[in-house]
Amino acid sequence: MTRKGTFNFRLFVADQTQNSVQAEANLTAFCRQYLPDRHHIEVVDVLREPKRALDDGIFMTPTLVVLAPAPIRRIVGTLSQTLTILQTLKLDNQAA
Amino acid sequence: MKLASRALAEMPVKARTGITGFDDITAGGLPRGRSTLLLGGPGSGKTIFAVQFLVHGAQHEKEPGIFVAFEESPRQIVRNMAGFGWQLEPLLRKKLFFMDAQLKPEIIQSGSFDLSGMLAALAVKARQMGARRIVFDALDIVLALLPDAASQRREVYRLHEWLVEHEFTGLITAKDGGDEATAPGLKQFGFMQFMLDCAVILNHRVDHGVSQRNLRVQKYRGSSFSEDESPFVIGSGGLDVAIARTLGRADAAVSLERVSSGVERLDTMLGGGYYRGASILITGYPGTAKTTLGGAFAEAACKRGERTVYVSFDSDGAEMMRNLTSVGIHLGRFAKSGMLRVISARTISGSAETLLVRIKALAREHKARCLVIDPVSTLARAGNELTAHGVAERLIDWAKADGITLVCTSLIDERANHVNDGIPLHVSTLADTWINLNYLLQAGERNRAMSIIKSRGTAHSNQVRELILSKSGVTLADIYTAGGEVLMGTLRWEKESAQRVADEVAEVGGQLQRVTLDAEEAVLEVRVRSLQKELMAKQVERRLLDRTTETREDELSRGRKRMRELRGADIAVPEAK
């Protein structure tokens, strides 16, 4: 199921709140482990750029938007469950 | 924005909701610049309450609002609210914004999260449109995703802080069992009730198949409020909360004007009729002419040119009018001219509250000055026993406040215990005038008796009258009391005619006696005259007799002397023997 190509992530965070900091750390660690050199992460702070949260319909922080590969998916939360993320990204066969 | 820049202190402390009755209960509305929790089960009217609150703010208070929809799509909500005639469309451009915050099913959750993103986005939108009111509809859906109670509490706190910081008047709705689920543990998000400034609970239950809605303000920091459950209905204009007697409403115009009851002698008994704006209760068993009295009142009102509404629960309106024609009450022409509005409410079902709201709406629409409800006891139909009394109370209250003269008939249930006079609603204590109709079974007849049990502020007759229905109308007749018994109907008629005959006999007898005496007098007079005549005759006779005797004696003595002379006898001749 693995596909070559870059994973394009946009992570909406709320400043340095505990959940947001955790999510950013989890995402970075995840990418390092499973998607080395195959990812791009954009971090958007909704407190600084609330307009973008409004436009993207972000209501909960942190929210990870998987922009590519299609389809667009959203994962809400601290991204603490690695298995869930792998399943969402269809990378679960790699996890084993 | 104009309002945003104004200092909070200058603003009224409360934000009016525009919900009939609710602003009265809370003495002004929701706490301004604070957060309110609205709890209720599914279908209890939370969303309607919330939208009405925003619409009123946008339309009448110059307070634009934002509706954050977690559960339904904004388009669905707007469509659902179309029935209330609030005209949302023009507001949607600038004054009312629906934010679609539905949790899409494709959203995947991993770990804890918070609502900062939404609040940040909201702040931008609110600034753009100068919003002052914010509704979070169905917050429970979001909270349910949070992993633990601590996170839930944290998010509610965050929301609350954010609202307070921005001086928004916030309304958070959440599903809850309402008051039914008072046991601890059943309330999922009970902590919210402690955290927020004001909590309102909407209850919805079904009694005997009749839906009953109630609203209760559970807490309201820094304000007094009515603590009782208040029934409400979802009417054509949104929520309509029934308020019990509001303090300070005693200023309803009190009138000294009298209005006719439609029955002339009843007016006399009441010292001139009912008071304008009074509430009159007519009670009686089935068939005691309650409807007739109601109809007579309606007819009299229409004749005076007063717009009248007649609510008939028992029979069809047309039928009722036809039946009244038989006793000389003609409502048809007034119904045709539009002066009278007859409503057949026999088929209207629903809670007593619903009926009251409909009656109120109809009366307002018709601009009624007089209202007849026949019978008001219908309100206490199955399923409404508990609420009916309150409804009747508010009915009277409302009629008084609006200066409407209200005539209610009430059926006395023959099977009911008579401890409370058998009147199911206990309206009797509230009504200003209470007329009771009864049957008197006597000598094989059933006759209608009418008495005024009470009439506040008017001298009224203490007499029982017989109510007579005839083709020419309704009349009252005095009743006879004889030997401690009241006589009515034929017995009264008999008594009346017997009296008449006796009077005549006495009169004739007197005349006869006078004539007899006259005759006797005449006879005596005649006799006196004839006796006098007789007397005179006797006297004459007597005189005649006297004279005759004298003459004879003279003759005799003269004769003897002559003889002696002729005989030439001696002078000294002795007397012959």
**Residue A87 in domain:** yes
Q: Whole-angstrom Cα distance, residue B306 to residue B191?
A: 56
A29 located within any domain: yes
ipTM associated with this complex: 0.83
The predicted-structure confidence for B198-207, as pLDDT tens digits, reads as follows 989 888 877 6
The domain total for chain B is 3
Among B187, B212, B241, identify where a domain stops. Answer: B241
Q: Could you give the CA distance from residue B476 to residue B292 in angstroms, rounded to a whole number?
A: 13
Looking at the structure, tell me whether residues B79 and B225 fall in a common domain.
Answer: yes
pLDDT surpasses 60 at B34: yes
What residues does B36 pair with on adjacent strands? B171, B198
- Do residue B432 and residue B510 come from a single domain? no
CATH number (domain holding residue A45)? 3.40.30.10
Q: Which of B280-294, B351-365, B475-489 has the lowest mean pLDDT?
A: B475-489
- Domain count across chain A: 1
Asked whether residue B180 carries a pLDDT value surpassing 70, the answer given is no
Whether residue B152 is predicted with pLDDT greater than 70 in this model: the reply is yes
Asked whether residue B576 is domain-assigned, the answer is no
* Interatomic CA distance for residues B363 and B356, integer angstroms: 10
A66 touches chain B (CB under 8 A): no
Nearest-neighbour CA in chain B from A91: distance (Å): 15
Distance CA(B466)–CA(B487), nearest Å, equals 9
For residue A14, being part of any structural domain is answered with: yes
Q: Could you read off the pLDDT of A10-43 as tens digits, one per residue?
A: 999 888 888 889 999 999 998 888 888 888 899 9
CA distance A47 to chain B (A): 6
Mind giving me the DSSP string for B552-563? HHHHHHHHHHHH
Neighbours of B433 (CB within 10 A): 23
- Asked whether residue B509 is domain-assigned, the answer is yes
Q: Do B109 and A75 touch (CB under 8 A)?
A: yes
Q: Which of B110, B117, B125 lies closest to A77 in CB terms?
A: B110
In a domain, B361, yes or no: yes
* B534 falls within a domain: no
Contacts B114 to A, Cβ<8 Å = 14, 17, 19, 60-61
- Nearest Cβ partner of A81 from B111, B118, B125? B111
B123 in the same domain as B89: yes
A67 domain residue, yes or no: yes
Indicate if B42 and B132 belong to the same structural domain: yes
Residue A28, in any domain of the structure: yes
- Which of B364, B366, B371 lies closest to B301, judged by CA? B371
Q: How far apart are CA B153 and CA A20, in angstroms?
A: 18
Q: Is A96 part of a structural domain of the chain? A: no
**Structural domain range at position B461:** 258-478
Q: How many angstroms separate the CA atoms of B52 and B235, rounded?
A: 12
Residue B218 and residue B301 in one domain: no
Strands A63-68 and A7-13: antiparallel
Helix axis angle, B74-81 to B46-60, nearest 10°: 80
Do the Cβ atoms of A76 and B125 come within 8 Å?
Answer: no
The partner residue sitting opposite A61, judged by closest CB among B109, B116, B123, is B116
Flag whether B572 is in a domain. no
| Distance (Å, whole) CA B145 – CA A78 | 13
Helix B290-303 vs helix B317-325: crossing angle, to nearest 10 = 90
Distance CA B413, CA B138 (A): 47
What residue numbers bound the domain in which A19 lies? 7-91
Tokens of B443: 């000598």
Of residues B110, B121, B125, nearest to A58 (C-beta): B121
Tell me, yes or no, whether B416 and B356 share the same domain: yes
A72: in domain? yes
Answer yes or no: do B167 and B235 share one domain.
Answer: yes
* B548 falls within a domain: no
Whether residue B72 sits in one domain with residue B146? yes
Q: Are A42 and A65 in contact (CB under 8 A)?
A: no
Per CB-CB distance under 8 Å, the chain A contacts of B123 are: 50
B176 to chain A nearest CA, in Å? 23
Same domain, residue pair B334 and B441: yes
Chain B interface, Cβ < 8 Å to A? 100-101, 104, 106-118, 120-121, 123-125, 142, 145
**SS3 for B245?**
coil
The reported pTM is 0.66
Q: Does residue A70 or residue B528 have the better pLDDT?
A: B528
Q: Has residue B114 been placed in a domain?
A: yes
Contacts of A60 in chain B (CB under 8 A): 113-115, 117-118, 142
Is B6 a residue whose pLDDT tops 50? no
